[in-house]
């Protein structure tokens, strides 16, 4: 395993930046505890796009270009229309625990994960659900008993169905499912056992390897299924929460980092950052569209 150079700080003064996506020439991300979704150019020029009275989570786009945002504590999937935010789906009937990260397929189907337990209260992790939401708002459970589903992406496979990859943070693994044409999931399996590492956000590259952020061991690892961890980017004393490949040539690995996930600390210290490092293999997958 090789270790890459340390990343460069592109933007600081954030609370808890997570769920990055590269879309139409800019890095988009949620500053969860500050209630804002931001967009940033590859040279670090950033602006808030929307503010919600809640914690924004996963981001994605419908085929017509409209932005989707997970309302974590509002238990809903929201859509940004010309006249403001519209609720696409009420997720409260599936779980009262916070909703989290998301991946949206080219067809506009959104797959959203759930905490499954009260993390702030210190409850033990319990089986959580993942829900599929159609563009018209129809929603149903496609997976259960996940151990804190976090980052997700879609891997196109040369043979067979595309695979939905999900980071199970407390399961310390990447799980994979075949993505059926009707939106359902099948053939559940472990794509990568990451113990002792702890996965959070993830993104794919063009060689089918997966970059995985680890907020416990403070870094981002590149995983090749047959080989395990083949590269490691250290974030020093800072937790690495999520990552995405982007930039004009899609070879910049953007990493969201911070010193805490406690809202009382993050909103006071504003230690959240967007950091970046150059890598060899460009992006691939639904995390960049």
Choose the weakest-confidence range: 112-121, 150-159, 240-249, 271-280. Answer: 112-121
Decide: 270 and 136 in contact? Cβ < 8 Å: no
Query: What confidence tier does 285 reach under pLDDT thresholds 50, 70, 90?
Result: low
pLDDT at residue 26 tops 60: yes
For residue 119, what pLDDT is reported? Answer: 66
Mean pLDDT of 26-34: 98
* Secondary structure of residue 33 in the 3-state scheme: helix
Please state the length of the chain: 289
Mean pLDDT of 111-124: 80
Mean pLDDT of 19-24: 97
Tell me the DSSP string of 118-147.
-TTTTPPP--EEEEEE-TTS-EEEEEEEES
pLDDT at residue 288 tops 70: no
With b meaning 16 or more CB within 10 Å and e meaning fewer, what string describes 209-231?
A: bbbbbbbeeebbbbbeeeeebeb
Quote the pTM value: 0.95
DSSP 3-state percent helix, strand, coil across the chain (nearest 5): 5, 55, 40
Cβ contacts of 237 within 8 Å, gap of 6 or more: 218, 259
Could you tell me the end-to-end alpha-carbon distance of the chain, in angstroms, rounded to an integer? 30
* Secondary structure of residue 253 in the 3-state scheme: strand
- Which CATH architecture group holds 2-288? 6 Propeller (2.120)
Backbone φ/ψ region at 134: left (φ over 0), alpha (ψ -120 to 50), beta: beta
> Would you kindly state where each structural domain of the chain is located, as residue ranges?
2-288
Closest CA to 20 of 211, 163, 229: 211
Query: What confidence tier does 205 reach under pLDDT thresholds 50, 70, 90?
Result: very high
Q: What percent of the chain has pLDDT over 90?
A: 89
Choose the weakest-confidence range: 16-25, 94-103, 105-114, 117-126. Answer: 117-126
Distance, in Å, from the CA atom of 205 to the CA atom of 287, rounded to the nearest integer, reads: 10
Distance, in Å, from the CA atom of 255 to the CA atom of 275, rounded to the nearest integer, reads: 5
For residue 121, what pLDDT is reported? Answer: 64
For the chain, the average pLDDT equals 94
DSSP 8-state assignment for residue 36:
E
For residue 225, what pLDDT is reported? Answer: 87
Mean pLDDT of 120-145: 89
Residue pLDDT, tens place only, 241-280: 999 999 999 999 999 999 999 999 999 999 999 999 999 9
- Tell me how many degrees the CA angle 187-119-17 measures, rounded to the nearest 5: 85
pLDDT at residue 289 tops 50: no
Residue pLDDT, tens place only, 51-84: 999 999 999 999 999 999 999 999 999 999 999 9
Give the CB-side neighbour count of residue 18, counting CA atoms within 13 A: 31
Choose the weakest-confidence range: 34-38, 78-82, 113-117, 276-280. Answer: 113-117
Residue pLDDT, tens place only, 169-196: 999 999 999 999 999 999 999 999 999 9
Choose the weakest-confidence range: 43-52, 97-106, 223-232. Answer: 223-232
Identify the sign of the CA torsion 200, 195, 252, 14: positive
Mean pLDDT of 189-204: 97
With b meaning 16 or more CB within 10 Å and e meaning fewer, what string describes 42-75?
A: beeebeeebebebbbbbbbbbeeebbbbbbbebb
């Amino acid at each position: 395993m090789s270790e890459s150079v340390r990343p460069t700080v592109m933007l600081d003064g954030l609370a808890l930046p997570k769920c990055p996506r590269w879309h139409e020439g800019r890095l988009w991300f949620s500053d969860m505890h500050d209630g804002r979704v931001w967009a940033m150019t590859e040279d670090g020029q950033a602006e808030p796009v929307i503010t919600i009275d809640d914690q924004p989570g996963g981001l994605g786009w419908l085929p017509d270009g409209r932005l989707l945002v997970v309302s974590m504590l509002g238990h809903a999937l929201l859509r940004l229309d010309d006249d403001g935010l519209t609720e696409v789906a009420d997720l409260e009937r599936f779980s009262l625990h916070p909703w989290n990260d998301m991946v949206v397929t080219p067809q506009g189907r959104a797959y959203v994960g759930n905490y499954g337990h009260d993390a702030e209260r210190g409850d033990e992790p319990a089986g959580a659900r993942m829900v599929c939401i159609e563009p018209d708002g129809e929603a149903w459970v496609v997976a259960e008993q996940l151990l804190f589903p976090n980052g997700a992406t879609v891997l196109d496979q040369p043979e067979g169905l595309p695979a939905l990859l999900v980071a199970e943070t407390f399961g310390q693994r990447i799980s994979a499912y075949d993505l059926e044409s009707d939106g359902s999931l099948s053939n559940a399996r472990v794509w990568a056992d990451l113990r002792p590492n702890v996965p959070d956000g993830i993104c794919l590259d063009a060689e089918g390897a997966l970059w995985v952020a680890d907020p416990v061991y403070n870094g981002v690892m590149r995983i090749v299924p047959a080989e395990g961890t083949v590269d490691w980017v250290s974030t020093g004393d800072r937790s690495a929460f999520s990552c995405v490949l982007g930039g004009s040539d899609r070879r910049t690995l953007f990493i969201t980092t911070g010193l805490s996930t406690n809202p009382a600390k993050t909103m006071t210290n504003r230690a959240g950052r967007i950091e970046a490092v150059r890598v060899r293999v460009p992006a691939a997958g639904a995390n960049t569209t």
